[in-house]
Amino acid sequence: MSKLAEFRRAERELQKQMALLEQLQADASLQREMEFEDKLKALMADYDMDLAKVVDILNPQPVELEEAAPATVKQRRPRQLKVYVQPVTGKRIETKSANHAQLKAWKVEFGAEVVEGWRQA
């Protein structure tokens, strides 16, 4: 690329950048941000604070406490095996829950209190 072509390209890029700069300078939100920055710097100078201190004040990090003991997960004790023996037929049921189909049928037929009386220790 010749020096003249390189110069023209650089000149066009400079004009684009100058137009962008003028556009930004006219932007009201940029003016507000610049004003805020100036006031913030003056305030930081008045109170002799640097930017890191200001950030710590505005966004504090949680204070790390001593390592707490990890919470133990409380486990359920295992269910006990229940044994029911029907006195007439001698049929035996071993279950850990009350959802056993035959046990439910007995409770419907004979009543829950009677069936609980059949429970072996």
pLDDT in tens, the chain (121 residues): 789 999 999 999 999 999 998 888 888 888 899 899 999 999 999 999 998 888 888 888 877 666 666 678 888 888 899 999 999 898 999 999 888 999 999 999 999 999 999 998 6
Give the whole-angstrom CA distance, residue 45 versus residue 64.
30
If DSSP codes are grouped into helix, strand and coil, which group holds residue 80? coil
Q: Is residue 43 part of a domain?
A: yes
Q: Is residue 74 part of a domain?
A: no
- The verdict on pTM exceeding 0.85 is no
pLDDT in tens, 78-88: 889 999 999 98
Q: Is residue 20 part of a domain?
A: yes
How many domains would you assign to the chain?
Answer: 2
- Containing domain of residue 96, as a range? 82-120
